[in-house]
Amino acid sequence: MSPSIDSVNPWLVGIGLNTILLGLAGIAPKKLLTRTGLFHAWLLAIIIWGTLGWQGYAVVMFYFLVGSGVTRIGMAQKEAEGIAEKRSGARGPENVWGSALTGALCALAVGLLNSGLIIPLPQSLVPSPQSLLLLGYVASFSTKLADTTASEVGKAYGKSTFLITTFQPVPRGTEGAVSLEGTLAGVVASVAIALVGWGVGLIDILGIAWCVLAAFIATNLESVIGATLQSKYTWMTNEVVNIFNTLIGAIAAVIFAWVWVIWH
């Protein structure tokens, strides 16, 4: 009788599965990742599978596929206007970790807690540390997908774009610009990936609300950062801002859940 996938070391499964999948992605005619991006995505995917299994993997794959798809919306027009993502949207290592560093840290913390390699907190804590970290994990990708979708849809279809700090009209693609079309698309994207997280059992039904609310707050704060700080500091690249963005989303969702439990 052959062993089930659950009885095999998850790290070995992650290495084997992702070597095959990213090998196929490397020879595909349409490049979603650069050559070095492939390697870093391979490392990320192994971390996620090894710590959170197929459930965590489903969330990050949903983000990657949908995020890559929305990046290509109106690509010809955005390239003509000079506001398209570089490399026609192909992700490099900086994009991989800018989008997923917060999620990867949440996943590693869950793995360490479950393995007993770090001192576990009292089991009487409600919500449990693991459940809060899983919520932070889903919220980080909910936030990033909302940000990506809002930005790309806004650049492609935004009829009126405004600087978030002054509400003055600005050209599409301006750092810190927002549009109604992009904002609504971002909310839909955050709902979609939160539903995936709920569907695979990483978060509860209330967690969907925390992810969506946190994503909305974090995405708008990211626009404020883009409008006020990003041009002032050379080190504050889009990828660094993305890390702040996902971190804010994860922390906000955790705070919402924790406060809700205390008050109820």
- Could you read off the pLDDT of 50-94 as tens digits, one per residue? 999 999 999 999 999 999 889 888 776 766 666 656 656 577 899
Q: Residue 33: which residues within 8 A CB-CB, separation 6 or more?
A: 22, 25, 26, 41, 90, 91, 92, 96
Return the bridge partners of 178, or none. Answer: 162
- Token code pair at residue 79: 């390239």
pLDDT score at 137? 98
pLDDT score at 87? 57
Peptide bond before residue 127 is cis, with ω within 30 degrees of 0: yes
* Distance between CA atoms of residues 87 and 183, nearest Å: 25
DSSP state of 163: E
- Token code pair at residue 36: 């070095």
* 3-state secondary structure at position 177: strand
- Given a contact cutoff of 8 angstroms between Cβ atoms, the answer to whether 89 and 75 are in contact is yes
Type and span of the H or E element at 84: none
Per-residue pLDDT of the chain (264 residues; tens, 9 = 90+): 444 444 468 899 999 999 998 888 778 766 778 889 899 999 999 999 999 999 999 999 999 999 988 988 877 676 666 665 665 657 789 999 999 999 999 999 999 988 876 666 565 566 788 999 999 999 999 999 999 999 999 888 878 888 998 889 888 878 888 999 999 999 999 999 999 999 999 999 999 999 999 999 999 999 999 888 887 888 888 889 999 999 999 999 999 999 998 887
- Token code pair at residue 178: 């927002």
* Distance between CA atoms of residues 114 and 72, nearest Å: 39
Q: What number of other Cβ atoms are within 10 A of residue 2's Cβ? A: 6
Half-sphere exposure (Cβ direction) of 15: Cα atoms closer than 13 Å: 4
Instruction: Check: pTM over 0.75? Answer yes or no.
Output: yes
